[in-house]
Structure formats: C-alpha cells, structure tokens
Amino acid sequence: MKKIALVLGMVLLAGTAAYATPSTQIWIPSTDIQPFGKVHLGFDQYIKTRRIDGATREANVINNGITVGVLPLEKIQMELGVDYRSYGTEPADSSPFYFNAKVGTPEGSLFTGSPALAVGAYDFGTNKYDSVSNFGTDYNIVYALAAKTLGKAGRVSAGYYQGNDDLLLDKNGEKDEKGVLLSWDRTISEISDKLWVAVDYMGGDNSYGALSYGVAWKFSPNVGVIFGMDKYNNDNYKPTYTFQVDIDL
C-alpha cells in the first residue's frame, strides 16, 4: 500500500482535472490490488498551491472512495471501487461519482521471478461528454502495468494508458489522450518499515499528465497517511499538494 508522514511535496490539478483512486502510487495506478474481502477507504484532500490573480484561492478538491477486493484467488486478484468527488464548482459537482476496476497477478505468481501485471480502468464518470455544453465526467482511462521489485533498489513499474479524447486535451485544445506510466517506490526499512517513498510519472500534456513524488507513514497495519506533490506537464495546471488518509477494514 501507500501512506505517509513526512513531506517532500504533493499532488493535483486545477479546473476540471481529475483524480486517480484505484490502488495507486502517489498519482498513477499501481499493480497492487486489494485482497479478497478487504475494504479500503480513502479520504483524499487536494490543495491548490496558488491563488487566482493573487487573491481568491481555488476550492480544494476532495475525493472520498471505497475499494473492495472481490476475487478469492491467490494468483489472480481483482478490485472494484467507487469515488465521491467534489471540485467545489458546477457542473462537475452535479455528477460526483466515478468508478474504477483492476485485475492482475502479483510478482512471482506466473513463474519464478515473474513481474506483477495489472490491467484496469478508472474515472469512469456518470456524465457522458456533450459537445454542446463541452462538459462530461467520462474520462474513461484504461491502462496496463508491469512491476518488478529489484531487491534493496526498490520496485519499478512501467505501463501505458489511454482515455477519452474529448476530455483529455493539451493546452491548445488538441487531443492528447494517451501516454506512458512510470514509477519507482521503496520501503525505507533502514529507518522504519512504516516509511515509504515514491516517484511516479504520467505522460501527456492533458489534465492527468504529471510528475509526482511523496512519502508515506503507516501508523498501524491498517491506517496510513500520504503527503505528496504533483508538477503537471501542462503548465496551465497549478502544482498541488495532497494529504490522503487510507484505512483498511
């Protein structure tokens, strides 16, 4: 899992940018999947780093979600989730629910030394994009990932994603709906087995593309906190801090 107690820096975006909440690294999805029967609760706050014209601060984004492990198998696992998200603005807040799913296999399950593999989808919103209003919440991101732990060097992950090209646009309004997914994460056991750090990258100049980094601390086996920061590839989006609380039941 992930979750934290010291700050290197933090995560998120402006406008109608969106937020990933299947089992993740700092920002991108991970190959981690909730075990069968485990209920994971996430309470995430995304804090804008700058004011508008030096005066009014944009509303923080709040994302509360639940993810559940649903497949009672050892070598193939699956999770399903739903998020309730508030941007503090309309019309986005009129369609606050977003759905996600992931299926995969852990490291070493296919053969000795095999990488973890996962395919999934997230931010499937309930409001289909409408060209007249130029609004929708169906970002519909699908992805595939592979991850491998390299001993004390930590874990590296790589993959690719694609989403709704009506909503994932660059700063010029051109379609920019796909890109790479990359990450590195490691438990800093030299200090404490409760301390975890990560860096991840999501390609593209759309509202999701970003370089993110952060640290986490597990206060107990089922409760953790993460602090992080995102620097977006598209400079129309302000860097954001994130504070996330995760609870497993």
Sign of CA pseudo-dihedral 190, 107, 201, 7: negative
Q: Is the pLDDT of residue 8 over 90?
A: no
Give the residue, 60 or 93, on which the prediction is more confident: 93
Determine the pLDDT at residue 57. 64
What's the pLDDT band for 238 if we cut at 50, 70, 90? confident
Rounded to whole angstroms, the Cα distance separating 144 from 22 reads 13
Rounded to whole angstroms, the Cα distance separating 139 from 204 reads 14
Give the residue extent of every domain in the chain: 39-248
Q: Is the pLDDT of residue 225 over 50?
A: yes
Nearest to 197 by CA among 189, 188, 206: 188
What's the pLDDT band for 75 if we cut at 50, 70, 90? very high
Determine the pLDDT at residue 55. 58
Q: What is the mean pLDDT of the chain?
A: 88
Rounded to whole angstroms, the Cα distance separating 81 from 34 reads 10
Sign of CA pseudo-dihedral 212, 213, 219, 221: positive
Share of the chain above pLDDT 70, in %: 88
* Nearest-5° Cα angle at 230, 225 to 60: 70
Determine the pLDDT at residue 52. 56
pTM of the model: 0.87
Please state, in angstroms and as integers, the Cα–Cα distance from residue 148 to each residue in 30, 43, 71, 111, 186, following that order.
11, 28, 22, 13, 12
Q: Is the pLDDT of residue 168 over 50?
A: yes
Q: Is the pLDDT of residue 89 over 90?
A: no
Q: Is the pLDDT of residue 22 over 90?
A: no
Q: Is the pLDDT of residue 4 over 70?
A: no
Determine the pLDDT at residue 53. 60
Determine the pLDDT at residue 237. 83
Average pLDDT value for residue range 60-86: 94
Give the residue, 24 or 79, on which the prediction is more confident: 79
Q: At residue 239, what is the residue type?
A: P
Determine the pLDDT at residue 239. 86
Q: Is the pLDDT of residue 9 over 50?
A: no
Q: Is domain 39-248 given the CATH code 2.40.160.40 in the classification?
A: yes
